[in-house]
Amino acid sequence: MKQIKWSWAVRILAGAVLGLVFSVVLVSYMVGARGPSPVVCLLCAALGGAAGVATLPFADDGKSLLLYSAAHFGVTATLFALLIAQLGARGGELLAWLVILALVYAVIWLGRWVGWYVEVMQLRTLLGLAPGPSPLKWRETLPYLAFALLLCDVLPLLLYWADHAVSVDVPVLSGLLLPYILLPVAGFSSGLSLGMRQGVCPLYPVACFLCYLPMVFLLFNYTAMFHCFMAAVPALAGNVLGWLYRRAVPKKGRGAA
C-alpha cells in the first residue's frame, strides 16, 4: 500500500513539474505576454499532476474502473476549463476545447483499455481458460451490423424514393415517419435484443450513428444530423435495458455479462 502511495506521489510531482515547464515555455507564446500569470502556472502544474496519474494501472473490477475514470476525467476537465478560460476562451470556444479534450481522453482511454483487455485474453488462453468476449464485444455485435445497415441505409433510400415517386410536397415517409418513429423504435428494439443476448455492446449505437451519417448528406443536409441520434440513442437505451434484464433474469446455464 505504501509503495502504491509513493508511486502516486512521484507521478503527481513529475506531472506537476512538467506542467509548470509547459506553462513557462509554451503558454508565454500562446498568450503573447512576457510570462504566464501565477494562476496559469498553478493550473498547468495541477493539470500536469492529474495527467501524471492517468497512466496508473486499471482497477480490478469494472465498477471501480468506471468510477475512477469518471472522477479523473471530471478533475482533468475542470482544471482544463479553468486554464482555457484564463487564456481567454469563452462560450462556444470554451465548449469546443472541452469537446476536443473529451475526444482525446476517450481515444487514449479506449486504446489503453483494449491493450489491457487483449493481455487479459492472452493470459486466460495460456491458463487454459475461455478467453472471454472480444474487446468492446465487437465480434458479438457483428451479426447486428446487417440490421443497422438495413435500418440506417437501405430503409432511408427506399422511403426517400417512395416520397419522390408520388411527388408529394412534404416527405412524410423519409422526413417524418423515419426519424420520429421507425428509427427510434427499430433502434431500441434491436439494441434491446442485443443487450439481452450479449450484454452491453457499446459499438452498436456507434454503428447506427455512423451508418446513417452518409444519408444525412446524401438525402438531406446538415440540419438532418439529429436523425443519427434518433437511431443511436434509442439503440443505446435498449442495449442497456436489455443488459439489465439479462442480469436480473439470467437464463439457466448462462451467467450475467
CB 207 within 8 A of CB 217: no
pLDDT number for residue 251: 62
- pTM greater than 0.75: no
**What CA–CA distance (Å, rounded) separates 151 from 111?**
30
Helix, coil or strand: residue 120: helix
Angle at 200 between CA 196 and CA 201, to 5 degrees: 105
Neighbours of 216 (CB within 10 A): 17
By CB neighbour count within 10 A (0-12 exposed, 13-18 middle, 19+ buried), where does 99 fall? exposed
Which among 126, 153, 147 is positioned nearest to 201, based on CA atoms? 147
pLDDT number for residue 132: 72
**What CA–CA distance (Å, rounded) separates 108 from 54?**
10
**What CA–CA distance (Å, rounded) separates 27 from 20?**
10
Helix, coil or strand: residue 129: coil
pLDDT in tens, the chain (257 residues): 555 566 667 778 887 888 777 777 665 555 555 566 788 888 888 888 888 877 666 666 667 777 888 888 899 999 989 988 887 778 878 888 888 888 788 877 776 776 677 677 777 777 777 767 787 888 889 889 999 999 999 999 999 988 887 766 777 889 889 999 999 999 999 999 999 988 999 999 999 999 999 999 999 988 899 999 999 999 999 999 999 998 888 664 454 45
pLDDT number for residue 114: 67
pLDDT number for residue 27: 58
